[in-house]
Amino acid sequence: MSSRDSVVIPLRPHAAPLDPERALTELVPTVRRWMWRLLGPREGFEDAVQDALVELARALPRFEGRSSLTTFAHPVVVRTAYRHMRPAGAPRMVDAIDQVTSGDDPERRAAGRQQLERLHRVLAQLPEKQRVAFVLCAVERVSHARAAEIEGVSIETLRARLKRARAELARRLKADPELAERLRSER
């Protein structure tokens, strides 16, 4: 998790009461980014974001301020994403990919958008638990310990999921050497 993801709210016993509306407003960009990385472009993406925000609104009264608000929110968002991974239907690629691939060169943007669509199709084929482990550790750059905590599993279990996800991705990317090379170059 990068510093731009952190929404720090002071410990509540010594601070003014938490303003839930302000907290949720500050979390919206981070929740959208996490959901985008976990679910990819799909029909119902905005519903998933809204569901996560509703769950966070319900959970905020339990926030004690012992950690950053994003640390508190991450497991809630991941659990909500799991619920949205289960519905039937393959993800539908949407124009929101432009949020990720920006720049002035239309050809480069189009190529990046196509690669991102292919990556999301490959990720969507992973089992849910492997996909979440991969996104948390490889995309979000969350430590294995923190990812295991978010998932509610041991570090060993998280590492096993991550290892299986990487092996499956490597197998599937053999059919798309261009995308495989791009992913290797961005490490």
CA dihedral in degrees (146, 149, 154, 155; nearest 10)? 0
pLDDT value, residue 109: 75
> Exposed, middle or buried, 89 (CB in 10 Å: 0-12/13-18/19+)?
exposed
Q: Do the beta carbons of residue 30 and residue 7 sit within 8 Å?
A: yes
Q: Do the beta carbons of residue 139 and residue 78 sit within 8 Å?
A: no
CATH T-level assignment (fold) for domain 102-187: Arc Repressor Mutant, subunit A (1.10.10)
Residues of the chain with CATH 1.10.10.10: 102-187
Measured CA angle at 81 (ends 45, 182), to 5 deg = 75
* Nearest one of 150, 145, 13 to 80, comparing CA atoms: 150
> Could you confirm whether domain 1-92 is CATH 2.70.98.10?
no
pLDDT value, residue 184: 63
**pTM of the complete model:** 0.54
Residues of the chain with CATH 1.10.1740.10: 1-92
**pLDDT by residue for the chain (187 residues), tens digit each?**
444 455 544 444 445 567 889 999 999 999 999 999 888 888 888 999 999 999 999 999 888 888 889 999 999 999 898 888 864 443 333 333 334 445 567 887 777 778 778 888 888 889 999 999 988 888 788 889 889 998 999 999 999 999 999 889 888 888 888 777 766 654 4
Rg value, the chain, Cα = 17
